[in-house]
Amino acid sequence: MNAGTHRPTIIEVDAQAIRENIHQELARMDRKSDLFAVVKADGYGHGLVQVAKFVSEAGATGFCVAILDEALELRTAGFTQPILILGIVEPKYAQLLAEQKISVAVGSCDWLKKAAPFVHGDEPVRVHLALDTGMGRIGFQDQDELKTALDYLQTHSDQFLFEGIFTHFATADETDDQYFKLQLSRFNAFMDVLPQRPRYVHVANSATSLWHKVCEGNMIRFGIALYGMNPSGKALSTPYKLKPAMAVTSELVFTKLLKKGRSVGYGATYTAQQDEWIGTLPIGYADGYPRCLQGFHVLVDGQSCEIVGRICMDQLMIRLPHDYTVGTKVVLVGKSGEQEIKMEDVAEAAHTISYEIACGFAPRIPRIYLHEEKS
């Protein structure tokens, strides 16, 4: 997709905010633990390679991604740090994993057996065994399955390196911790099976690292919080202030005085109850700004302006307090004067989570990086 460099809609990514979020987490961590930055999904919409650079500068010692292609992009960009793929990779790519020294999540002994014929040479495949303690996504579900895989790894140590073991908590960002405790007990039962711990033992995503200190891991998978967003939305307060890294802005490209009784947008779902000024912005649902946000607001000159009419594919309309000149800046996510719209606010209005909103902004919105060079 071509970036829309000839229109005034942009995403600004503050590199210093990302660095500071990393610094704050590192300050709370055990010094013997590693922080792997989760940069999957194009760095949650912030830019994969750029974010990897910023977090490396800030002290992250490795990366987590979701798919092999993301890991390969990091290697191509010159990053030599450990990379862990959290999703399942087809066994036929095992040799590529080994050659590129990319670690992979494995959730069954069957995967190891299918991958073994593809592994040859001096480098083994670095394996992190995934434990399904209650997420229900990938991973070993009982101790016997895990024992079988451990035995296989031991007898095939020339092909596979047992580098890590991990699980993922489903409710670490919720006030009720009963299910979290159930998962933790299951994880501890799995750990009792191990003859010895591998290099990495990791259970902590952003939410777990922020609100739970009961896990004896030595690596944190730091994701949404590094971008300055609260994993719980607004349910829990973070132990330190997160700095949002992403701002989404546009400009008024058209204004008009809409007469009382005239309507706006598809379906004519908004009708002016009096004469009012309407502004048009060049951003829509094709850019990842959800269509359901009719009735939400943006910021113009520090003032809240309601989105009126249905959001179009490439444009949306807002009600202005008075006429503004074409070219006036409009903030969809970020600060304007004393007002601020956080990603969590947009997500709440769209009945979803901030992750989805941030990841959903399309590539045709250019990313502009602020404070790229360390001060």
Query: What three-state secondary structure class fits 127?
Result: strand
Residue 231 near residue 225 (C-beta atoms within 8 A): yes
| Residues facing 220 on adjacent strands | 35, 204
Tokens 């095992």 belong to which residue? 94
Choice among 32, 40, 289, 335 that is catalytic: 40
Which residue in 227, 266, 270, 324 is the catalytic one? 266
User: By CB neighbour count within 10 A (0-12 exposed, 13-18 middle, 19+ buried), where does 154 fall?
Assistant: exposed
Q: Is 346 helix (H, G, I), strand (E, B) or coil?
A: helix
Beta-carbon contacts of residue 365 (< 8 Å; ≥ 6 apart): 3, 4, 9, 10, 11, 248, 283, 287, 288
Asked whether residue 7 is marked as a ligand-binding residue, the answer is no
* Tokens standing for residue 159: 């092909």
CA–CA distances in Å: residue 147 to residues 104, 141, 143, 195, 330? 19, 11, 6, 10, 58
Q: Is 313 annotated as a binding residue?
A: yes
Residue 33 structure tokens: 């633990």
338 contacts 314 by C-beta, under 8 angstroms: no
Please give the helix or strand (H or E) that residue 94 lies within, else none: helix 94-99
Query: Is 266 labeled as catalytic in the residue annotation?
Result: yes
As a whole number of angstroms, the distance between CA 213 and CA 201 comes to: 14
Give the residue numbers annotated as catalytic, written as ranges.
40, 266
Q: Which residues are annotated as a binding site for substrate?
A: 137, 313
Residues in binding site:
137, 313
